[in-house]
Structure 1
Amino acid sequence: MKNSVKHLLLILLTAFANFSFAQIQWQKEYIYSNHAINNTVETARTTIETSDGGYLVGGIAEKSPRVAYMAKLGANGDSLWVRYYGSTYGNFNNLAKLYRDNSNELYGVFETITGRLSFVKLNETNGDTISKFYGPMGPASGYSYLAHTQLPNGDYVLSYTQSSASIVKCFTPGNITANWTHDYAGEVIAVTSIIQDGSDVVMSGYAGADWWMFDLAVTKLAASDGTVHWTKKYKRNAIWKDQRVGLVKNNAGNYLVACSWSQNNILYPSVIRMASNNGDSLSISILTTHNGNPVNFGFCDDLVPFANGFVAAGEIDQDFDDVMGDPQNVAQMALFCINDNGQILNAYAMNQVGPYYNGSIYTGSYAWGLACIPTSDNQVLVVGKGNYLAPNNGWISALGDAYVVKIAPETLGLKENSELTGLTAWPNPSNGTVQISASEIMEKITVFNQLGAKVFELNPSSKITSIDLSDNPGIYFYQVYGKNASGSGKLIIR
């Protein structure tokens, strides 16, 4: 769409001078790689909460050769055990995604050195491989996992890259023949996020041939056969290569797209609100400054429900003075708080993650958040990559390591009205049926799954009601709206 930008109704340039909205509960650096190997690329790419209050994280480690790993963290972030998935487990070189399927079974999406993708059922108590199945790939080389979603009937919609183009396929687990295929060959597009919306699926990603700034692309198609309803593109306004374009559906039924927005050849963290019926832009929020200083580069990545809005992991680049007093550009792992209208309310750049050596900041230091999840104690876990700075023959070497940070965000900025008093959900955990009550009449209840997709909505017009999720065990997040107040919480369905 050549004139998509003309449909923007509101440009929100957001500045937060001397403002901090979060308190770090703990931060951990995990060195799972062999730092004797040059240019280590260790990364924590995915995380999930476990039933005992701990966490699983997974990603890439350098063990000569590169291998996938999964680590168990306790509630305080201590590393309890780590499993490596190398040649013994099928030549896995990356654990790209941890998730729970429709039956609440733990799975990991593994990339292999041959390019095939494996969906591996995992034992969360020790990391053992229980079983696995392949998705429909084609030639077994040159593939990289990007995103997937599981439909209510058990089928998967999966995106992956083949050379410089992205392929989207719908398939039934265990059947390597695709039900349908959507091929973006020639458009050089990467579909990095997929959500279900009723009988449709919505996909966000980037297109274009520029190595630096790509074009944003959002597509809506039928889940049954892949028929495209609409596709919208925005010239040079998407994200830096290899990062995600986050995607959720908000309470009003519009789509929020977390990405980067280009102004004066600088990419800024941004969130776009789009109409679900045709993809037209409704508003955009752009973060150009943070703590009173200009942002030199940044992006919003993963985007998940939290409180009465959403949070996103990502990156903010800003200038700092090094030990000699010279300005240096340093990338920082970041967390963004976003309201239901897609406005970036708060940002927290964790410049203490990665960029320091002996208390000083050095050129080339960087860190970024690649995924985040809301936790059962109403905090947020951010995982990603930072720098391990070490002396090496008189030089300071920056070696990539996994970083995990737990944050208690100040969520008042996400609440557009007062807190709903007396909000209770019981039993929780539950076998399926949950009673929800409040001290005032509840006008609407919305339930999201861990991927941010809306799975249930009810207009009870009462102070007590029940919902039934017995057919779909898992972890859910609910939002309740009264006339003058709202509240939220987490549900565990076993």
Structure 2
Amino acid sequence: MKKSGKHFLLSSIAALATSISVAQVQWQKEYIYSNYAVNNTAETAKTTIETSDGGYLIGGIAEKSPRVAYMAKVAANGDSLWVRYYDANYGGFSGLSKLYRDNNNELFGVFESLYGRLAFVKLNETNGDTISKFYGPMGPASNYIYLAHTQLANGDYVLSYTQSTASIVKRFTPGNLNAVWTHDYAGEVIAVTSMIQDGSDLVMAGYVGAPNWEYDLAVTKLAASDGTVHWTKKYRRYALWKDQKVGLVKNSAGDYLVAASSQQNNKLYPSVLKVASNNGDSLSISMLTTHNGNPLNLGFCDNLVPFANGFVAAGEIDQNFNDATNTPQNCGQMALFCISDNGQILNAYAMNQIGPYYNGSIYTGSHCWGLSCIATSDNKVLVTGKGNYNAESNGWNAAFGDAYLVKIAPETLGLNEHSELAGLTAWPNPSNGTVQISASEIIEKVIVYNQLGAKVLELNASDKTVTIDLSAMPGVYFYQVYGNQASGTGKLIIH
């Protein structure tokens, strides 16, 4: 493994002041899936996926003594329809970390097991029934906070989890508990929270230990075939505490955008770092230091997904001003960030149901856990996390919370800096798989993403019409088309 302790200088730094808009919130809903009294709950919505009928499935952890995994169905307007718990009768799962559709468009959940293995469970999305399951290679007996995985084109999985102070990465074939290859990044990378495939390679983002209980950002690029590490780079003080995820995407220029937080003047701010794909060198960083005219105390952004001609990310901002009450108090709020294709934070939205809460003497912030976001088929964004509530017994808001969803229509300020590609059409749509994408000018590139934001297809072109074939992958997709001076986006439905 190639080691690098060098802290790279950034070629450009942008500290941005952004605006807030709350009018775009479509709805926000709280879901209580626990048997416990309100002061003792610690349930979380950790994952979301859109269903073919326009509704959503969410999953996470519920407090039912002991903790159990759950999956729930909500309607397009956020109303709760049903919930299914996966307790001892369903294998004793303690949490649902991720919902996704595999290469065959079948619904799976990554479940945390009490017995040291992650279970990949095929699910019926109409009622939550378990259809079948297989286990990954042996991992730690508990605590899957640091978990990332991706499925390769041939059906194999690459899984990363944290054990003690090292990140373990394994490639394995479904149903076979013996890993094809394994790497232990002891002393180098302690947490991988995001993983994407880039051609024949894998790129992983996470963080490493650093002095004073802070963490440095780390990005690793390795071969998917055998795990050979091409490079690992560390970036000083570009991560937050251990419960924060690190977002990772590839932009249209082929560079990687990494969403986390950055240190400046002894504070940590939401940030997006752009790094070169060939060697990991840092190219630029965008930091959010103020919001709505007020300075931030701390914050982060993660879970990057494509949206418009750029990306959005879920995260948190914490400042000495509460947008909801117009009073000066420390308030941690769930946030959504709009990010350009070049990695600049362009806009931020605070969702005020997160905090403040009263701890008996002062108002303080409630940090947001389990955050993720998806781009929906109606061009909105759904943010998943945890909210707070009032405890009736003593009149103060608990530090714990219930599952929370917020649907928001963010302004795409700056995300459409290129003019719209004239005459952009996709036909037929819906389709059985083969689609012709046309425009009035030359198309140079087409990129197709699935609903989780993973890139499934990229084509370079030099024509006004490009044919793509998704017949082997039924589902809902989003596409980005780039011309010389313009670009455009759209949605594809493949039956």
- Aligned residue for 2:352? 351
Q: Which residue of 2 aligns with 1:10?
A: 12
More moved, 413-422 vs 393-402: 393-402
1:237, distance to aligned residue in structure 2 (A): 1.8
Of 38-47 and 129-138, more deviation after overlay is shown by 38-47
Describe the SS at the equivalent of 1:315. Answer: strand
Please show how residues 29-40 of structure 1 align to structure 2 within 5 Å: 29-36=30-37, 38-40=39-41
| Residues 166 and 188 in structure 1, CA contact (< 8 A), matched pair in contact too | yes
Q: Which residue of structure 2 lines up, in the alignment, with residue 417 of structure 1?
A: 418
Equivalent position of 2:94 in the other structure:
93
User: What is the distance in 1 between the residues matched to 2:322 and 2:230?
Assistant: 50
**Residue range with higher mean Cα deviation, 202-211 or 339-348:** 202-211
C-alpha offsets along residues 112-136 of structure 1, whole Å, 9 cap, x if unaligned? Answer: 2233210000000000000000001
Give the deviation of 1:477 after TM superposition.
1.9
The aligned runs of 1:232-311 (5 Å cut-off) are 232-311=233-312
Aligned position for 2:477? 476
Counterparts in 2 of 1:144 and 1:297: CA distance versus 1, 3 Å: closer
- Matches for 1:207-222 after TM superposition, within 5 Å: 207-208=208-209, 212-222=213-223
CA distance in 2, matches of 1:323, 1:10: 34
**2: CA distance between counterparts of 1:323 and 1:78?**
24
Checking the alignment, whether the CA contact within 8 Å between 1:107 and 1:122 is kept in structure 2 is: yes
Label 1:54 to 1:191 Cα distance change in 2 as closer, same or farther (>3 A).
Answer: same
Tell me, yes or no, if the aligned pair for 2:357 and 2:397 is still in contact at 8 Å. Answer: no
Which residue number in structure 1 is paired with residue 386 of structure 2? Answer: 385
Per-residue deviation, residues 216-239 of structure 1 (Å, max 9, x unmatched): 010000000000000000222222
SS of the residue corresponding to residue 423 of structure 2 reads: coil
In 2 relative to 1, CA 407–426 (structure 1 residues): closer, same or farther, beyond 3 Å?
same
> Once structures 1 and 2 are overlaid, which stretch shifts more, 375-384 or 208-217?
208-217
Distance 1:374 1:321, change over 3 A: closer
User: Residues 63-462 of structure 1 correspond to what in structure 2 (within 5 A)?
Assistant: 63-138=64-139, 140=141, 143-144=144-145, 146-187=147-188, 189-208=190-209, 212-320=213-321, 327-355=328-356, 362-367=363-368, 370-393=371-394, 395-462=396-463
CA 382–143 in structure 1, closer or farther in 2 if over 3 Å, else same: closer
Tell me the amino acid that sits aligned with residue 113 of structure 1.
Answer: L
Residues 41 and 107 (structure 1 numbering): CA distance in 2 closer, same or farther, change over 3 Å? same
Q: Kindly tell me: are residues 292 and 395 of structure 1, through their superposed partners in 2, closer, same or farther at Cα, counting changes over 3 Å?
A: closer
Code of the aligned partner of 2:371: L
The amino acid across from 1:119 in the alignment is F
In 2, Cα distance between equivalents of 1:270 and 1:242:
17
**Which region of structure 1 is more displaced relative to structure 2, 208-217 or 51-60?**
208-217
State the 1:368 CA deviation.
5.2
Q: Matched residues in 2 for 1:461 and 1:81: separation?
A: 49
Give 1:64 deviation, angstroms.
Answer: 1.2
Task: Give the partner amino acid of 1:14.
Answer: L
Change in Cα spacing, 1:393 to 1:25, as seen in structure 2 (3 Å) is: closer
* 1:213–1:475 distance in 2 versus 1, CA, 3 Å: farther
CA distance in 1, matches of 2:364, 2:345: 29
Looking at structure 1, the residues matched to 204 and 432 of structure 2 have their Cα atoms a distance apart, in angstroms, of 32
Q: Closer, same or farther in 2 for the Cα pair 1:324/1:273, shift >3 Å?
A: closer
Q: Cα distance, 1:377 vs. partner?
A: 0.6
Give the alignment's TM-score, normalised by structure 2. Answer: 0.93
SS in 2 for 1:457: strand
Task: Provide the secondary structure at the position in 2 that maps to 1:5.
Answer: coil
SS in structure 2 opposite 1:88? helix
Tell me the distance in 2 between the aligned counterparts of 1:370 and 1:42.
13
Residues 45, 370 of structure 1: 8 Å contact kept: yes
Displacement of 1:90:
1.0
The CA distance in 2 between the partners of 1:348 and 1:54, in whole Å, is 23
Compute the displacement of 1:465 (Å).
2.6
User: How much does 1:311 deviate?
Assistant: 0.6
Cα deviation, 1:16-37, whole Å, max 9, x if unaligned, reads 2x54386001111111123427
Q: Deviation digits for residues 172-192 of structure 1, max 9, x if unmatched?
A: 000000000110223461010
Q: Give the TM-score of the pair, scaled to structure 1.
A: 0.93
Higher mean alpha-carbon deviation, 389-398 vs 40-49, is at 389-398
Deviations 1:382-418 (A, max 9, x none): 0011112213345543331111001111114201212
**Deviation (angstroms), 1:2:** 4.4
**1:298–1:323 CA distance, 2 compared to 1 (3 A):** closer
Unaligned runs of 5+ in 1: none
Whether contact under 8 Å (2:87, 2:94) holds in the other structure is yes
Q: How many residues align?
A: 489
1:9–1:281 Cα contact (<8 Å) kept: yes
Identity within the alignment, %: 77
Compute the RMSD of aligned alpha carbons: 2.3
* Structure 1 range deviating more: 170-179 or 399-408: 399-408
Counterpart CA distance in 1 for 2:247 and 2:434 is: 31
2: CA distance between counterparts of 1:404 and 1:383?
5
Distance of aligned partners of 1:396 and 1:449 in 2 relative to their CA distance in 1, 3 Å threshold: closer
- Report the alpha carbon displacement of residue 200 of structure 1 after superposing the two structures with TM: 0.6
Counterparts of 2:396 and 2:334, CA distance in 1: 24
